[in-house]
Amino acid sequence: MIEFNTHPDRYRHWTLRVEGPLARLELRVDPEHPFRAGYELKLNSYDLGVDIELADAVNRVRFEHPQVKVVVVTSAIDRVFCAGANIGMLAASTHPFKVNFCKFTNETRLSIEDASRSAGLRFLAAVNGPCAGGGYELAIACDEIHLVDDNSSAVSLPEVALLGVLPGTGGLTRLVDKRKVRRDLADVFSTLAEGVRGKKAKKWRLVDASWARSQFGDKVAQRAKEIAASGEDRSGRRGIAWTPVERKVTQEGSTTTYAYRFVELTIETETRAATLTMRAPDAGQPRTAAEFHRAGAEAWFIRAFRELDDALCQLRFEHEDVSLVLLHTRGSIDAVLAAEAALVECARSDWLAREIVALVARVLRRYELTARSFFAVVDKGSAFGGVFFELALAGDRIYALDVDGVEIAIGPLSNGLLPMTHGLTRLQSRFLAEPERAARLAAEQPRLRAADADGEGLVTFLVEDVDWEDDLRIAVEERASLSPDALTGMEASLRFGGAETCDSKIFGRLSAWQNWIFTRPNATGERGALVSYGKPESASFDWRRT
């Protein structure tokens, strides 16, 4: 089982230093401690273990150190920034692991961009040496890139030229969509294995500033202080402890269960199906900003959605064969709606409440970017209200039992506070042909019986009690019989209708092109570029375009 919990005291590869409004994240990858044995992490190259620490550090800055206004991301090794994802790790990994690694790594970069967008936290990449592949993708996730100009340090995306694959965490899309590099220059840059240095890198918009080595440290420090001196005063903020997510894992025969306080994930190996159960908050949830601060990471919204996040990561990496997840909720709709109303009200004026909303939004996006089918099961005892109904909308189908007492409710978080990857709300995405219906439902926030929810187009199938068990069984068996490759492509295409954003383009390409390229002989065959990298023999390509 992969452990996604960590702490700065246990980091092997990163160091987090905080001084007032300034923080430094320094990368010094320990080559002797890869995530899995069999390769060496040379030249600050990274693997999943390095990225788990980075993801933890970004969350800790947001929740434990809310006074921070700027984070300098740099290397603690002189004349080396980051060589990108470790080639030995990629070459030795299974295809699903490679794709899930790319997804997790990109979601970590998205969390950096989300911190800038939703929390006003600025990231400055201080590139003090060669910066290649995933290292440059980390840099372009930051708000500014400062490159040392020493006639040897360059930024590069060498994957096409050297490995026969694409940058795995959105580098090509961020070049043109985020940094607005001219398309012809981006084309040249993406085929130059040696990259681009100094003043040319600045001229091409690949970096924001380039400094001589003698000036580099002072100029970066000066710029960080300028950013920290601007904007609101955060010195009075006090953070909360980012405590570990606790789980108990049990296995009985073909069934594996991950049990948390508010989340339970049960895997059935024989049927290739899983059941994910979310539980409503219990008594005593925060109602005021002060109560949210006192509750800290034990507040239901934080704990439940961190537990869901962990369960999703376990599902992705540890259970590749699972095809379908049945989503259940249990507890009181009233309790969910009351907790949600309190959070939304506090978020109007309190930084922690706003960070909690942003956390929930990120977990929901990870949920719908997970390559599994999700069917929501609205039955007796379910609590599909507010944010729980957002989970249902994030999935692929909603089955509702047509009996008294079964209902759904839309809450205030559904009115624009939890955007999808492509920027729409889930109601807007559901009703692309009827935007007025989406707007009305978001404004009215109705509570509806199952039959009325069906009338509003909010469920997929309204099923009578006599047919309930058979219909669900047939749905599970049918879904599990379909090609997982076809389902992954189909779901990624259907979940994000309407206009695209930089983020949704990145994941569309990860789900389709990278998935495909990683299985092609030109990349991963016996003489593919990824397998041949570092060997005397050059790669052998099938030159046909397909």
Of 440, 469, 490, which marks where a domain is finished?
490
Q: Is residue 183 part of a domain?
A: yes
Phi and psi for 236 in degrees, rounded to 5? -85, -5
Q: Kindly state whether residues 336 and 424 are assigned to the same domain.
A: yes
Of 490, 505, 534, which marks where a domain is finished?
490
Distance of CA 354 to the CA centre of its chain: 18
pTM > 0.85: yes
pLDDT of the residue at 442? 98
What lies within 8 Å, CB to CB, of 521 at 6+ separation is 527, 528, 542
> How many domains are there within the chain?
2
Q: Given the DSSP bridges, would you call strands 407-409 and 447-449 parallel, antiparallel or unpaired? A: antiparallel
Q: Kindly state whether residues 225 and 342 are assigned to the same domain.
A: no
Q: Kindly state whether residues 181 and 254 are assigned to the same domain.
A: no
Q: Kindly state whether residues 301 and 212 are assigned to the same domain.
A: no
Q: Is residue 161 part of a domain?
A: yes
Q: Is residue 27 part of a domain?
A: yes
Q: Is residue 525 part of a domain?
A: no
Q: Kindly state whether residues 201 and 269 are assigned to the same domain.
A: no
206 contacts 189 by C-beta, under 8 angstroms: yes
Tell me the CATH number at 485: 3.90.226.10
Question: Residues 333-351: pLDDT tens digits?
Answer: 999 999 999 999 999 999 9
Question: What DSSP state is assigned to residue 350?
Answer: -
Q: Kindly state whether residues 285 and 186 are assigned to the same domain.
A: no
Q: Is residue 524 part of a domain?
A: no
* Residue where the block lists tokens 């996604």: 4
The dihedral of CA 363, 368, 374, 380: what is its sign?
positive
For residues 83 and 400, give the distance between their C-alpha atoms in angstroms, rounded to a whole number. 50
22 contacts 68 by C-beta, under 8 angstroms: yes
For residues 435 and 433, give the distance between their C-alpha atoms in angstroms, rounded to a whole number. 6
Q: Given the DSSP bridges, would you call strands 154-156 and 131-132 parallel, antiparallel or unpaired? A: parallel
Q: Kindly state whether residues 209 and 343 are assigned to the same domain.
A: no
Q: Is residue 528 part of a domain?
A: no
Q: Kindly state whether residues 210 and 117 are assigned to the same domain.
A: yes
Of 198, 229, 260, which marks where a domain is finished?
229
pLDDT of the residue at 283? 78
Question: Residues 88-122: pLDDT tens digits?
Answer: 998 889 989 998 999 999 999 999 999 999 999 99
For residues 450 and 489, give the distance between their C-alpha atoms in angstroms, rounded to a whole number. 31
Phi and psi for 544 in degrees, rounded to 5? -70, 135
DSSP 1-44: -------GGG-SSEEEEEETTEEEEEE---TT--SSSS----TT
**3-class DSSP state of 148:** strand
For residues 341 and 409, give the distance between their C-alpha atoms in angstroms, rounded to a whole number. 13
pLDDT of the residue at 91? 87
Q: Kindly state whether residues 81 and 157 are assigned to the same domain.
A: yes
For residues 425 and 162, give the distance between their C-alpha atoms in angstroms, rounded to a whole number. 40
What value does the mean pLDDT of the chain take?
95
For residues 85 and 11, give the distance between their C-alpha atoms in angstroms, rounded to a whole number. 18
* Cα separations in angstroms, 170 against 180, 193, 404, 509: 14, 18, 48, 8
Q: Range of 151's domain?
A: 8-229
Q: Is residue 266 part of a domain?
A: yes
345 contacts 292 by C-beta, under 8 angstroms: no
Q: Is residue 509 part of a domain?
A: no
Q: Kindly state whether residues 190 and 276 are assigned to the same domain.
A: no
Q: What is the chain's pLDDT, residue by residue, as a tens digit (546 residues)?
A: 899 999 999 999 999 999 999 999 999 999 999 999 999 999 999 999 999 999 999 999 999 999 999 999 999 999 999 999 999 998 889 989 998 999 999 999 999 999 999 999 999 999 999 999 999 999 999 999 999 999 899 999 999 999 998 898 899 999 999 999 999 999 999 999 999 999 999 999 999 999 999 999 999 999 999 999 998 999 999 999 999 999 999 999 999 999 999 999 999 999 999 999 999 998 789 999 999 999 999 999 999 999 999 999 999 999 999 999 999 999 999 999 999 999 999 999 999 999 999 999 999 999 999 999 999 999 999 999 999 999 999 999 999 999 999 999 999 999 999 999 999 999 999 999 999 999 999 999 999 999 999 999 999 999 999 999 999 999 999 999 999 989 988 998 899 999 999 999 988 877 677 778 888 899 989 999 988 888 888 999 999 887
253 contacts 271 by C-beta, under 8 angstroms: no
Q: Kindly state whether residues 181 and 257 are assigned to the same domain.
A: no
126 contacts 72 by C-beta, under 8 angstroms: yes
* Cα separations in angstroms, 225 against 35, 124, 242, 502: 35, 11, 27, 29
What b/e readout covers 33-64, taking b as 16+ CB neighbours within 10 angstroms?
ebbeeebebebbbbbbbbbbbbbbbbbbbbbb
pLDDT of the residue at 518? 84
pLDDT of the residue at 507? 86
Question: Residues 249-277: pLDDT tens digits?
Answer: 999 999 999 999 999 999 999 999 999 99
For residues 149 and 68, give the distance between their C-alpha atoms in angstroms, rounded to a whole number. 28
For residues 543 and 103, give the distance between their C-alpha atoms in angstroms, rounded to a whole number. 29
pLDDT of the residue at 485? 87
Q: Kindly state whether residues 286 and 435 are assigned to the same domain.
A: yes
Q: Which of 81, 189, 111, 184 is nearest to 359 (CA)?
A: 111
pLDDT of the residue at 509? 77
Give first-to-last CA distance, the chain, whole Å. 38
